[in-house]
Amino acid sequence: MTDAAARPLVRIQNLAKSFGKVQAVRDASMTILPGQIYALLGRNGAGKTTALRILLGLARADRGQLELFGQPLARHRFDALRRIGAMVEAPSAYRHLTGRENLLVTCRLRGLAAAAADDALALVGLVDAKNRKVKGYSLGMRGRLGLASALLGSPELVILDEPLNGLDPSGIREVRALIKAMPERGVTVLLSSHQLGEVEQVATHVGILHDGISRFEGPLQELRAAAKPALRLRTTSDARVETMLTPMCTQLEHTADGLWVLQEPNRSAAAINRELVQAGIDVHHLEPHAASLEDLFLELTDAAAGEAA
Ligand SMILES: Nc1ncnc2c1ncn2[C@@H]1O[C@H](COP(=O)(O)OP(=O)(O)OP(=O)(O)O)[C@@H](O)[C@H]1O
Ligand SMILES: [Mg+2]
């Protein structure tokens, strides 16, 4: 018997798509299981939107296997699409209509009852503002309305292309919190972003696409584990520190504003600090390198650029 909970909602293998001479997607693969918040990451032009559009039947793949809800996409497209909500282009709303009226337009187009609009408004916390015109909405409220539109009709999977784009910091917080709560409501999320830092707090899984090619896929923790912990040090004696630490660190690197140390995994910041102090070296600054995950993302996308050349 198959474990229904573990059956992928989305499975893409070796996807390719060109527009004339432009190879938008060259070899993309993704597997998304129920309950995940899957972030498809890549720089501008990596092929994210193209891949999502193909999944939604808005563009045709040249090559590759696509399955939604365990069925090949080609044969069951309409059944599958009924179970998906999407926000692919930037959420555009009629400014002169109220939030609720905007959703009712979409409900009518999709053959959904008006109750679906009210349910979605409740989910994103826009009930109090539903009868206000969208032109008076804050950026965060517009972002939430975009999500409400994707949530119409209780989809099992929502596909959100750059859902945080164009939002101000409080809008980003609002939309992030809503996305984070979706798995509890039985909604699996596939979202795209060109910034790892932006989705790091919500994603459970990531797929990294570079130049149309999948570079990494796995739980966010796995990416974190691959990002070597680093320490940034400033002391009175960089030369001595270098001599002392070189044998115990995988990588040691001077920067303009201090000395960077890539730690060995088995040596804690405290242990390194103790050794330096015991050797009579004053440590003025010692901090874990918080951006290492972002560095890894850049490294993955840069290394790929080198190989492709
Ligand atoms: N309809 C189209 N016609 C021609 N070229 C296209 C079309 N759609 C996408 N492309 C090209 O395919 C490549 C991938 O584009 P895509 O929009 O999928 O990237 P993306 O990862 O979504 O980028 P961004 O972060 O900027 O949204 C780009 O070089 C783009 O110019
Ligand atoms: Mg895009």
Mean pLDDT of 67-74: 88
Point out the ligand 1 atom lying closest to the alpha carbon of residue 20: 4
> Is 122 part of a structural domain of the chain?
no
The reply to whether 149 falls in a domain is: no
Q: What is d(CA 182, CA 188) in angstroms, rounded to the nearest whole number?
A: 7
Cβ(46) – ligand 1 distance below 6 Å: yes
Q: How confident is the model at residue 21 (pLDDT cuts 50, 70, 90)?
A: very high
Ligand nearest to the CA of 48: 1
* SS3 call for 63: strand
Per-residue pLDDT at 309: 42
Pairing of strands 63-68, 71-72: antiparallel
Of 54-63, 131-140, 210-219, 220-229, the least confident:
220-229
Q: 259, 232 in Cβ contact below 8 A?
A: yes
Res. 39: pLDDT tops 80: yes
**67 and 163 share one domain:** yes
Q: Please report, for the domain that includes residue 67, its CATH number.
A: 3.40.50.300
Q: Indicate which residue's Cα is closest to atom 10 of ligand 1.
A: 24
Structure tokens of 226? Answer: 């691959």
Q: Would you tell me how many other CB atoms lie within 10 Å of the CB of residue 14?
A: 14
Which of 18, 48, 52, 301 maximizes ligand 1 atoms within 8 Å of its Cβ, making it the mutation to test the pocket? 48
Q: Same domain, yes or no, for 213 and 239?
A: no
Other CB atoms within 10 Å distance of the CB of residue 13: 15
Contacts of 114 by beta carbon, 8 Å cutoff, 6+ apart: 104, 107
Q: Quick one: which ligand is closest to 194's CA?
A: 1
Same domain, 273 and 189: no
219 located within any domain: yes
Q: Is 42 in the pocket of ligand 1 (CB under 6 A)?
A: yes
**Within a domain: 93:** no
Same domain assignment for residues 6 and 72: yes
Ligand 2 centre and the CA of 240: distance in Å? 48
Domain match, 2 and 67 both: yes
Q: Domain check: are 79 and 3 in the same one?
A: yes
Q: What is the mean pLDDT of the chain?
A: 87
> Residue 153's closest CA among 82, 211, 53, 74?
82
CATH number of the domain that residue 270 is part of: 3.30.70
Sign of the torsion angle spanned by Cα atoms 125, 129, 133, 139 = negative
Residue 66 pLDDT more than 70?
Answer: yes
Which ligand has the minimum distance to the alpha carbon of residue 47? Answer: 1
185 and 249: one domain? Answer: no
Same domain, 69 and 161: yes
CA of 23 from ligand 1 middle (Å) equals 9
pLDDT at 247: 80
> Does ligand 1 lie within 6 Å of residue 301's CB atom?
no
Is residue 95 included in any domain, yes or no? Answer: no
Domain assignment present for residue 118? The answer is no
User: Residue 289 and residue 234: Cα distance in Å, rounded?
Assistant: 13
**Long-range contacts formed by 242-249: CB under 8 A, 24+ apart:** 244/275, 244/276, 244/279, 244/281, 245/272, 248/272
- Ligand 1 contact via 48 beta carbon (within 6 Å): yes
Q: How far is CA 138 from CA 36, 130, 219, in A?
A: 29, 13, 33
Instruction: Work out the average pLDDT over 127-143.
Output: 94
Cβ–Cβ < 8 Å for 211, 304: yes
Let me know whether 163 and 270 are in one domain: no
Q: Is the CB of 163 under 6 A from ligand 1?
A: no
Residues 223 and 191 placed together within one structural domain of the fold? yes
Q: Quick one: pLDDT at residue 52? A: 96
Ligand 1 near 194 CB (within 6 A): yes
Tell me, yes or no, whether 161 lies in a domain.
Answer: yes
Q: Whose CA is nearest to atom 1 of ligand 1?
A: 19
Domains: count for the chain: 2
Higher pLDDT, 280 or 166: 280
What range defines the domain where residue 35 resides? 1-83+156-167+178-227
Nearest to 220 by CA among 207, 234, 238: 207
Q: Ligand 1 pocket test: which of 15, 18, 22 has the largest number of ligand atoms within 8 Å of its C-beta?
A: 22
Return the beta strands (E) in 170-290 as ranges: 188-193, 205-210, 213-219, 230-235, 251-255, 258-262, 283-288
